[in-house]
Structures are given as structure tokens and as C-alpha cells.
């Protein structure tokens, strides 16, 4: 009976020992993926803000501006790229549009971001773009990888179309979550005009050539990233744009005309929603990556220990030559007749 139980426990130990690494190093990379059809909307605000009045070409303080960012997974395009890339790919079509306090659209920016569904590394394919301009991204954008490390990462800036390090500053606590805090400062850089502008009669593609005015931009961006999911639970930017030189900024001091200046933050209701979503996804990832493999390994070691203990106990007192167990202590041998 004990030998049968030991064999069952030994089989359980082998099963758990094989399943634990299989779950961690085979199943996790294949199951922990960004869904191809994901849709997400985020609203950010800057209150107050300085905004250029394009009717008077003078900057003025406004009660606030709203930036609406929508992200939509392009499933059909991701399948096309997967066929040649040989891995799971996500294609995000994003739109960010800035709305003034009067409800009018100030500017908008479109992007197509293509990346590996598990690692979040960029995948280069036809259609990768910012505002209609082809780009070749290096580094991350929008999201950090699963199990983010406390180190600097290369981060893509859509305005400059370039990548630069975003620096790990240190651990933080945010609404009960342990997060990593990152900062990146983009110095003053000349950037293209958005294709959509509230300037009637002016073409964004030829505005600099026709007016002699250029657009410049600087920002300090800050992210609080939950490391297990790699999701930013809070994001902020101190963002400034200027028009410089030419006829549009001719009357401005130093020919530098502030087009936008403000501290952009996620709206409170979107902060709450993001934190709860990340908290839920964090638990699922930890079960797949850590809790289940560790529990299986512990169960396997326990079963192996019990199997060895039962086998050793079953063999205790067996004669090494005959393989028979001696009569128990205190039991008399039967007397022969006569």
C-alpha cells in the first residue's frame, strides 16, 4: 500500500516538475500578449494653459485645453504583418487631438505604431508612420514591456520623430501600487507642423516655405509605470510649443510666439479606471509568470519528499539478503507440537 502511494507521489512530483518550467518559459511568452483588437481612449487636460489665438496671432491664457487620445488595434493589418514577420504583431492606429476651451479642435496627430505583442519591441513594416510621414521607430512608445526593469529605456518621441533615453528615477507608490518613475526631457527642437492646423488658407506642408516661420517644441514627460504589466498608470507632460521667425511671428518679442504652453495630466476619472484595470491585469500576469510555476515547483518537491519518505519507511527493517521483514518485537513464535 505504501509502495503504491509512493509511486503515485513520485508521478505527481515528475508532472509538477515538468509543468512548472513549461508554464513559465513556454506558456507565458505565448499567453501574455497585447490583444490585437484592443481599443482604448484616454483624456488628458492642462488647466490653465496658454494657447495661440490664430485669429489675432497672439497667445492668451485659457481656462484649459483637453487632449483626447484614441488607440485602436488594426486586426487585419496585424495579421498581414504576422504572416511575414513570423511572430505575434500588434498594429495600433492612434489619434491625438487637442481641443480648446471653446470646443474647437486646435490640432491633431495620427500615428501607426507596430510592435511585438509580447516584448513590445517595434516591428518595422510598411505603414509605420506619424502624421502621414513614414518613420522607423526605435525603442518603446505608449507602453513598457511586461516585467519592466528599473533602468533607462529608449523612448520614441512623435513630435521630433526621434528616440532618446527615458531615465529611470526610482520606485514610487501610486494609489497602493508599487511603480517605477521615469522622466525624459526633450530639448528645444525644430519639428514639422501638424497636417491639420486652424490656419485657413495655409498648407502645413508649405507653411514654413511660404511664411518663413518654423515650429519648435520642448517637453518634460513623466511616467509612473506598473512594472509587472508595463502599463503607465499616470502620465504627465510639461509641454511648450513656439512659432519662430517669419511673417507669423514677426511682431512677437524676439520673433518667438508661444503656440501652446501647459502642464498636461491625465483626467481623474481615467486615472481611476487605469489603476483598477492595471491592478486586475497585474494579478493575472503574476499567476501565469510567478505564482502558478512556483506553486507547482513547491508541490513537486513536497510530493517527491513524501514519496522518498514513504519508500524509506517501507524498506525499514527489511533483511538485506532475504528481503523479508523480521517478526515484530514482542510477538512470540508458535510452539511446535510435542
User: Buried (b) or exposed (e) across 115-140, using 16+ Cβ within 10 A?
Assistant: bbbbebebbebeebbbbeeebebebb
Q: Quick one: average pLDDT of 100-127?
A: 91
Residue 322 lies in a domain: no
Q: Which residue has the higher pLDDT, 84 or 320?
A: 84
Q: Do 24 and 40 sit in the same domain of this protein?
A: no
Residue 329 lies in a domain: no
Query: What size, in residues, is the chain?
Result: 338
Q: Quick one: average pLDDT of 118-143?
A: 94
Which of 199, 233, 266 is the endpoint of a domain? 266
Residue 337 lies in a domain: no
How confident is the model over 262-300, as pLDDT tens digits?
A: 999 999 999 999 999 999 999 999 998 888 888 888 888
For the chain, how many structural domains are there in total? 2
Q: Do 98 and 2 sit in the same domain of this protein?
A: no
Which band of pLDDT confidence, cut at 50, 70 and 90, is reported for residue 119?
A: very high
Residue 39 lies in a domain: yes
At which residue does the C-alpha cell 505608449 appear? 142
Q: pLDDT averaged over the chain?
A: 88
Predicted local distance difference test score (pLDDT) of residue 17:
82
Residue 171 lies in a domain: yes
Q: Do 123 and 239 sit in the same domain of this protein?
A: yes
Predicted local distance difference test score (pLDDT) of residue 326:
55
Residue 239 lies in a domain: yes
How confident is the model over 29-74, as pLDDT tens digits?
A: 888 899 999 999 999 999 999 998 877 889 999 999 999 999 999 9
Q: Do 4 and 38 sit in the same domain of this protein?
A: no
Residue 336 lies in a domain: no
* Structural contact between residues 52 and 90, judged by C-beta atoms closer than 8 angstroms: no
Q: Do 113 and 246 sit in the same domain of this protein?
A: yes
The whole-angstrom separation of Cα 256 and Cα 250 is 8
Predicted local distance difference test score (pLDDT) of residue 2:
59
Q: Quick one: average pLDDT of 158-173?
A: 97
Q: Do 213 and 181 sit in the same domain of this protein?
A: yes
Q: Do 149 and 170 sit in the same domain of this protein?
A: yes
Q: Do 289 and 179 sit in the same domain of this protein?
A: no
Predicted local distance difference test score (pLDDT) of residue 225:
98
Stated pTM of the model? 0.86
Q: Do 212 and 296 sit in the same domain of this protein?
A: no
Residue 338 has pLDDT above 50, yes or no: no
Q: Do 14 and 64 sit in the same domain of this protein?
A: no
Q: Quick one: average pLDDT of 205-219?
A: 89
At which residue does the C-alpha cell 524509506 appear? 312
Q: Do 9 and 127 sit in the same domain of this protein?
A: no
* Structural contact between residues 230 and 120, judged by C-beta atoms closer than 8 angstroms: yes
Closest CA to 100 of 50, 139, 36: 50
Closest CA to 309 of 6, 14, 13: 6
Q: Do 144 and 99 sit in the same domain of this protein?
A: yes
Residue 318 has pLDDT above 60, yes or no: no
Residue 323 lies in a domain: no
Q: Which domain holds residue 302?
A: 1-31+285-317
Residue 85 has pLDDT above 70, yes or no: yes
Q: Which residue has the higher pLDDT, 331 or 165?
A: 165
Residue 229 has pLDDT above 70, yes or no: yes
**In the structure, how many helices (H) and strands (E) does the chain have?**
6, 14
Predicted local distance difference test score (pLDDT) of residue 166:
98
Predicted local distance difference test score (pLDDT) of residue 336:
46
Amino acid at each position: 500500500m505504501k509502495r503504491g502511494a509512493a509511486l503515485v507521489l513520485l508521478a505527481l512530483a515528475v508532472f509538477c516538475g515538468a509543468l512548472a518550467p513549461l508554464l513559465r518559459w513556454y506558456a507565458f511568452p505565448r499567453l501574455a500578449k497585447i490583444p490585437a483588437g484592443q481599443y482604448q481612449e484616454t483624456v488628458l487636460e492642462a488647466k490653465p494653459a496658454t494657447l495661440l489665438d490664430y485669429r489675432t496671432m497672439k497667445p492668451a491664457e485659457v481656462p484649459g485645453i483637453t487632449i483626447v487620445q484614441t488607440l485602436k488595434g488594426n486586426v487585419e493589418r496585424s495579421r498581414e504583418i504576422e504572416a511575414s514577420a513570423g511572430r505575434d504583431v500588434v498594429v495600433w492606429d492612434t489619434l491625438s487631438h487637442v481641443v480648446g476651451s471653446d470646443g474647437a479642435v486646435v490640432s491633431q496627430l495620427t500615428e501607426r505604431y507596430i510592435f511585438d505583442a509580447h516584448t513590445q519591441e517595434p516591428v518595422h513594416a510598411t505603414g509605420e508612420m506619424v502624421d502621414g510621414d513614414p518613420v522607423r521607430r526605435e525603442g518603446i512608445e505608449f507602453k513598457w514591456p511586461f516585467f519592466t526593469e528599473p533602468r533607462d529605456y529608449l523612448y520614441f518621441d512623435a513630435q521630433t520623430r526621434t528616440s532618446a533615453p527615458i531615465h529611470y528615477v526610482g520606485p514610487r507608490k501610486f494609489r497602493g501600487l508599487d511603480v517605477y518613475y521615469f522622466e525624459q526631457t526633450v530639448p528645444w527642437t525644430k519639428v514639422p507642423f501638424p497636417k491639420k492646423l486652424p490656419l485657413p488658407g495655409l498648407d502645413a506642408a508649405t507653411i514654413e516655405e511660404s511664411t518663413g516661420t518654423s515650429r519648435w517644441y520642448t517637453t518634460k514627460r513623466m511616467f509612473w509605470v506598473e512594472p509587472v504589466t508595463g502599463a503607465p498608470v499616470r502620465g504627465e507632460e510639461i509641454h511648450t510649443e513656439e512659432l519662430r521667425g517669419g511673417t507669423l511671428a514677426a511682431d512677437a518679442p524676439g520673433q518667438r510666439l508661444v503656440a501652446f504652453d501647459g502642464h498636461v495630466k491625465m483626467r481623474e476619472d481615467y486615472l481611476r479606471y487605469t489603476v483598477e484595470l492595471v491592478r486586475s491585469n497585474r494579478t493575472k500576469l503574476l499567476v501565469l509568470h510567478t505564482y502558478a510555476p512556483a506553486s507547482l515547483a513547491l508541490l513537486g518537491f513536497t510530493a517527491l519528499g513524501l514519496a522518498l519518505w514513504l519508500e524509506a519507511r517501507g524498506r525499514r527493517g527489511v533483511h538485506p539478503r532475504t528481503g523479508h521483514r523480521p517478526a515484530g518485537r514482542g510477538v512470540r513464535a508458535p510452539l511446535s507440537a510435542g
